[in-house]
Amino acid sequence: MTPKLGHGLSEAPTVRTGQQMDVTTALAVLQETLDRCDRKDMRTPKVFAALDFLAAQATVKWPFNQFRNALDGDGSKGWEREGRWQILNASLNGIKLVVGQKK
Protein backbone atom coordinates (compact mmCIF):
# COMPACT_ATOMS: atom_id res chain seq x y z
CA MET A 1 0.00 0.00 0.00
CA THR A 2 1.43 3.40 -0.98
CA PRO A 3 1.43 6.05 1.78
CA LYS A 4 -0.39 9.29 1.17
CA LEU A 5 1.49 12.59 1.08
CA GLY A 6 -0.96 14.32 3.40
CA HIS A 7 -0.19 16.24 6.54
CA GLY A 8 -1.28 13.54 8.97
CA LEU A 9 0.88 12.64 11.92
CA SER A 10 0.25 8.95 11.43
CA GLU A 11 2.61 8.66 8.48
CA ALA A 12 6.24 8.10 9.35
CA PRO A 13 8.50 10.84 7.99
CA THR A 14 11.00 8.23 6.83
CA VAL A 15 8.35 6.72 4.53
CA ARG A 16 7.89 10.00 2.69
CA THR A 17 11.50 11.09 2.36
CA GLY A 18 13.52 7.90 2.55
CA GLN A 19 15.73 9.62 5.15
CA GLN A 20 16.10 9.05 8.84
CA MET A 21 14.71 12.03 10.78
CA ASP A 22 15.91 13.42 14.08
CA VAL A 23 15.26 16.72 15.85
CA THR A 24 18.42 18.40 14.51
CA THR A 25 17.70 17.33 10.94
CA ALA A 26 14.05 18.34 11.14
CA LEU A 27 14.93 21.80 12.50
CA ALA A 28 17.54 22.23 9.75
CA VAL A 29 14.88 21.44 7.14
CA LEU A 30 12.56 24.06 8.64
CA GLN A 31 15.38 26.62 8.81
CA GLU A 32 16.14 26.02 5.14
CA THR A 33 12.45 26.50 4.41
CA LEU A 34 12.54 29.87 6.16
CA ASP A 35 15.70 30.87 4.29
CA ARG A 36 14.28 29.97 0.87
CA CYS A 37 10.56 30.77 1.26
CA ASP A 38 10.87 34.19 -0.40
CA ARG A 39 11.95 32.74 -3.72
CA LYS A 40 10.75 29.12 -3.85
CA ASP A 41 7.64 27.07 -3.15
CA MET A 42 8.67 25.10 -0.08
CA ARG A 43 5.60 22.85 0.19
CA THR A 44 7.63 19.66 -0.18
CA PRO A 45 7.28 16.20 1.36
CA LYS A 46 10.56 16.80 3.19
CA VAL A 47 9.22 19.96 4.89
CA PHE A 48 5.93 18.31 5.85
CA ALA A 49 7.80 15.24 7.14
CA ALA A 50 9.94 17.47 9.37
CA LEU A 51 6.84 19.24 10.70
CA ASP A 52 5.06 15.92 11.31
CA PHE A 53 8.09 14.41 13.04
CA LEU A 54 8.50 17.32 15.45
CA ALA A 55 4.76 17.81 16.06
CA ALA A 56 4.35 14.14 16.97
CA GLN A 57 6.71 14.70 19.91
CA ALA A 58 5.16 17.96 21.11
CA THR A 59 2.16 18.66 23.30
CA VAL A 60 1.76 22.22 21.97
CA LYS A 61 0.66 22.14 18.32
CA TRP A 62 0.02 25.78 17.33
CA PRO A 63 3.50 26.61 15.99
CA PHE A 64 3.43 23.59 13.67
CA ASN A 65 -0.04 24.46 12.37
CA GLN A 66 0.95 28.09 11.91
CA PHE A 67 4.13 27.13 10.01
CA ARG A 68 2.17 24.77 7.76
CA ASN A 69 -0.55 27.35 7.06
CA ALA A 70 2.00 30.04 6.20
CA LEU A 71 3.33 27.86 3.40
CA ASP A 72 -0.04 27.90 1.63
CA GLY A 73 0.14 31.45 0.27
CA ASP A 74 1.49 31.88 -3.24
CA GLY A 75 3.57 34.97 -2.41
CA SER A 76 2.89 36.59 -5.76
CA LYS A 77 3.19 40.04 -4.21
CA GLY A 78 6.21 41.33 -2.32
CA TRP A 79 4.27 42.04 0.84
CA GLU A 80 2.89 38.49 0.83
CA ARG A 81 6.41 37.05 0.69
CA GLU A 82 7.51 39.29 3.57
CA GLY A 83 4.45 38.35 5.61
CA ARG A 84 5.05 34.65 4.97
CA TRP A 85 8.68 35.00 6.07
CA GLN A 86 7.66 36.77 9.28
CA ILE A 87 5.05 34.13 10.14
CA LEU A 88 7.46 31.28 9.37
CA ASN A 89 10.17 32.94 11.45
CA ALA A 90 7.88 33.38 14.46
CA SER A 91 6.53 29.84 14.04
CA LEU A 92 10.02 28.35 13.84
CA ASN A 93 10.98 30.16 17.05
CA GLY A 94 7.88 28.67 18.68
CA ILE A 95 8.76 25.22 17.37
CA LYS A 96 12.27 25.50 18.79
CA LEU A 97 10.84 26.45 22.17
CA VAL A 98 8.38 23.56 22.13
CA VAL A 99 11.04 20.96 21.26
CA GLY A 100 13.53 22.46 23.74
CA GLN A 101 16.10 23.70 21.22
CA LYS A 102 15.86 27.41 22.05
CA LYS A 103 16.88 28.97 25.29
* Burial class, 54, CB count within 10 angstroms (exposed 0-12 / middle 13-18 / buried 19+): buried
Model pLDDT, residue 5: 37
Q: Is the pLDDT of residue 9 over 70?
A: no
Spell out the domain ranges in the chain.
Answer: 18-98
* Sign of the four-CA dihedral 16, 59, 102, 69: positive
Express each pLDDT in 64-98 by its tens digit: 999 999 998 766 677 788 889 999 999 999 999 99
Amino acid at 17: T
